[in-house]
């Protein structure tokens, strides 16, 4: 059954609650003007999911949304009723009590009853402790019965709890809640006067507790709000009822002062002010309610309590939408630099490709004259080492630049995706759309900041790499000359080393050659049977001239062996030059 946020008369309150409770949810229809100015269907799907009924253009407020809102609040004495915002509707009050019990929140509140030291210190007797524990048990049982919508039984337990400790805020608050919203399909314990009585006590005790426990301000403000509703429901339609309406308005204002986050208090103040003819105050209060919870804007135009200020309602919504449009436009305008970053990235990529070619060409030219790893006297490597250092610096700068450009590309893609979502969100031109686009636009600034920093660093690295290229080119002639000088020095050193090796090994080879010659002559002496014709003296005479000859041959072989490696390198170098010449042709 579609309903509005209008407060029914005291005579219709019970039937209104009972009719809406049948489905345990409240369906609120949205007007065509709301769909144009406040939220388009796609905005409502994003906001409410499947709780938005597109066929009937209405929103379902029920257990799921209430449960989500309860989960957002902290599970402590505060109970965070203000987190519900526009999701709270009067017929859902019994269901809200059930959720508090199911979530364990009532137990946490009840446990506060046992902390007697916080109220009376440690000097308390055992009987007070026993009464305190009994009050806790009775309070929990009463809340449990209220959650089961057994309101007469709930009152029995809560009244017993009140008898144990009549000055406890939570007990008085629950009693006022039950007398105000205690309607089920079978029973009704609604009594506005008794609800007012208990809620006034709860407010009194809550204000007293705030002095020592500031967190009590939140439930106290909630008690003030429900107290204002109880007063308003007792207002007579004639002129005499204005005093109760004014009292309800003052209580709503006090609730705002106690807890400025309580958007429901602002919304009810707008209702009360409208009844009193205070249109300007109603307009301001409604604007504050919508600013704290924008969902009030969805049903404000259909609220019969605000019918006399409909022009102001539409003006407030239009003003807030225009304000959000300006904020969305400003947020999206900050993202215009995205196009510039994309152009800068393309320019740096082209610069990176050219830099890669230039650095590779310079390094390749320099590698034709590598450092000879053989250590020899007179070798010079100053220019070689300086060239290699410059080449290494250029390559490192290029590699870092490449990584920064890759990071910039990823960040740009992330920002572009967020910008597209922000623009699509603002596409419907409604209040919700403009407001939803702002966080996306703000979120897009984070990757853009990374892009800005990465591109700036990439430019610095590109300049560093480019500055190395002229240095490498200037070093190239000296590098070649140094290499040629080193080759000459190396050849001279190799020649000296070969001669030294030859001189060191020549005595051994000479002795070996002499012995080989002598042994050869002896073998020949016996092989040709000269020993039959000559004696040994003749052998000695003929062998002696061969000894110097053998020694000379050994010395010559020593020199050839010493120059063997030198000759091999010369042949290898000659073959390399010939091969390079053929390749050039």
Tens-digit pLDDT profile for residues 137-178: 898 899 889 888 899 999 999 999 999 888 888 899 999 999
Tens-digit pLDDT profile for residues 528-547: 766 566 566 666 666 677 77
pLDDT of residue 188: 92
Task: Give the C-alpha separation, 347 to 356, whole Å.
Answer: 14
pLDDT of residue 412: 93
Residue in the structure block whose two tokens are 């106290």: 220
pLDDT of residue 537: 67
Mean pLDDT computed over 184-191: 90
Contact 473, 363 (CB under 8 A): no
pLDDT of residue 64: 59
Q: What SS3 state is found at 53?
A: strand
Which range is most confident: 170-174, 239-243, 529-533, 572-576? 170-174
Task: Tell me the pLDDT band of 252, cut-offs 50, 70 and 90.
Answer: very high
Average confidence score pLDDT of the chain:
82
Tens-digit pLDDT profile for residues 293-342: 999 999 888 889 998 998 999 999 999 999 999 999 888 888 888 889 99
Mean pLDDT computed over 543-569: 70
pLDDT of residue 232: 94
Contact 18, 183 (CB under 8 A): yes
Tens-digit pLDDT profile for residues 265-291: 999 999 999 999 999 999 999 999 999
Q: Cα 532 from chain centroid?
A: 112
pLDDT of residue 189: 94
Q: Which residues contact 274 (CB under 8 A, 6 or more apart)?
A: 282, 305, 306, 307, 308, 309
Whether the pLDDT of residue 249 is over 80: the answer is yes
Contact 421, 442 (CB under 8 A): no
pLDDT of residue 114: 53
pLDDT of residue 365: 80
Task: Tell me the pLDDT band of 204, cut-offs 50, 70 and 90.
Answer: very high
Whether the pLDDT of residue 2 is over 70: the answer is no
Q: What's the DSSP call for residue 186?
A: S
Residue in the structure block whose two tokens are 């009704």: 188
Which range is most confident: 27-31, 92-96, 278-282, 365-369? 278-282
- Report which of residues 510 and 277 the model is more confident about: 277
Tens-digit pLDDT profile for residues 390-449: 888 999 999 999 999 999 999 999 999 999 989 888 888 899 999 999 999 999 989 999
pLDDT of residue 482: 82
Tens-digit pLDDT profile for residues 432-460: 999 999 999 999 989 999 999 999 999 99
pLDDT of residue 75: 41
- Report which of residues 133 and 454 the model is more confident about: 454
Task: Tell me the pLDDT band of 572, cut-offs 50, 70 and 90.
Answer: low
pLDDT of residue 523: 72
Tens-digit pLDDT profile for residues 460-477: 999 999 999 898 888 888
Q: How many CB atoms lie within 10 A of CB 515?
A: 14
**β-pair type (25-29, 52-53):** unpaired
Domains of the chain: 13-302 (1.25.40.10), 334-584 (no CATH)
Mean pLDDT computed over 19-23: 74
pLDDT of residue 233: 93
Tokens at 312, concatenated: 């102001």
Q: Which residues contact 182 (CB under 8 A, 6 or more apart)?
A: 94, 146, 151, 154, 155, 188, 189, 190
Q: Which residues contact 534 (CB under 8 A, 6 or more apart)?
A: none
Closest to 251 in 3D by CA, of 271, 237, 279? 271
pLDDT of residue 118: 55
Whether the pLDDT of residue 44 is over 70: the answer is yes
Tens-digit pLDDT profile for residues 77-117: 334 677 788 888 888 888 777 777 766 666 666 666 555 55
Task: Give the C-alpha separation, 260 to 254, whole Å.
Answer: 10
- Percentage, residues of the chain above pLDDT 70: 82
């Amino acid at each position: 059954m579609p309903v509005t946020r209008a407060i029914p008369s005291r005579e219709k309150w019970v039937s209104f609650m009972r009719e809406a409770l049948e489905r345990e949810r409240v369906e609120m229809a949205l007007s065509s003007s709301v769909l144009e100015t406040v939220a388009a269907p796609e905005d409502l799907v994003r906001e409410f999911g499947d709780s938005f009924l597109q066929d009937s253009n209405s929103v379902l407020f029920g257990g799921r949304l209430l449960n989500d809102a309860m989960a957002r609040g902290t599970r402590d004495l505060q109970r965070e009723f203000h987190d519900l915002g526009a999701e709270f509707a009067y017929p859902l009050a019994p269901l809200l009590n059930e959720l508090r019990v199911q979530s364990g929140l009532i137990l946490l509140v009840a446990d506060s009853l046992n902390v007697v030291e916080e109220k009376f210190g440690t000097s308390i007797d055992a009987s007070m402790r026993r009464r305190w524990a009994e009050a806790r048990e009775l309070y929990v049982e009463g809340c449990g019965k209220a959650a089961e919508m057994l309101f007469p039984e709930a009152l029995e337990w809560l009244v017993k709890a009140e008898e144990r400790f009549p000055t406890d805020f939570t007990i008085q608050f629950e009693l006022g809640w039950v007398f105000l919203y205690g309607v089920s399909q079978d029973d009704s314990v609604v009594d506005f006067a008794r609800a007012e009585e208990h809620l006034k006590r709860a407010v009194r005790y809550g204000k007293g507790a705030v002095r020592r426990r500031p967190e009590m301000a939140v439930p106290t403000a909630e008690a003030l709000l429900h107290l204002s509703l109880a007063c308003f429901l007792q207002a007579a339609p004639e002129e005499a009822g204005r005093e109760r309406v004014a009292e309800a308005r003052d209580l709503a204002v006090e609730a705002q002062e106690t807890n400025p986050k309580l958007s429901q208090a602002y919304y009810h103040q707008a209702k009360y002010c409208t009844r009193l003819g205070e249109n300007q105050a109603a307009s301001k209060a409604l604007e504050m309610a919508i600013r704290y919870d924008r969902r009030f804007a969805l049903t404000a135009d259909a609220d019969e309590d605000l019918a006399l200020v409909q022009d102001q309602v539409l003006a407030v919504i239009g003003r807030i939408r225009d304000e959000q449009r300006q904020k969305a436009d400003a947020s999206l305008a900050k993202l215009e630099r995205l196009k510039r970053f994309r152009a800068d990235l393309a320019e740096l990529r082209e610069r990176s490709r050219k830099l890669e070619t230039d650095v590779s060409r310079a390094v390749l030219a320099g590698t034709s004259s590598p450092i000879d790893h053989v250590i020899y006297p007179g070798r010079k490597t100053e220019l070689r080492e300086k060239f290699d250092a410059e080449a290494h610096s250029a390559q490192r700068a290029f590699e870092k630049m490449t990584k920064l450009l890759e990071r910039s590309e990823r960040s740009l893609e992330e920002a572009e995706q967020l910008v597209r979502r922000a623009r699509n969100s603002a596409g419907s031109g409604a209040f919700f759309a403009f407001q939803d686009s702002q966080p996306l636009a703000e979120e897009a600034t984070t990757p853009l900041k990374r892009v800005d920093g990465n591109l700036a660093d990439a430019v610095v690295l590109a300049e560093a790499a480019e500055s190395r290229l002229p240095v490498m080119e200037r070093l190239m002639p000296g590098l070649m000359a140094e290499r040629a000088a080193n080759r000459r020095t190396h050849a001279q050193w190799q020649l000296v080393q070969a001669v030294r090796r030859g001189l060191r090994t020549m005595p051994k080879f000479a002795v070996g050659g002499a012995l080989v010659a002598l042994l050869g002559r002896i073998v020949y002496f016996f092989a040709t049977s000269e020993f039959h014709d000559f004696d040994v003296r003749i052998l000695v005479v003929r062998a002696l001239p061969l000894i110097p000859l053998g020694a000379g041959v050994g010395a010559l072989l020593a020199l050839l062996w010493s120059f063997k490696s030198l000759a091999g390198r010369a042949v290898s170098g000659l073959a390399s030059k010939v091969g390079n010449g053929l390749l050039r042709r």
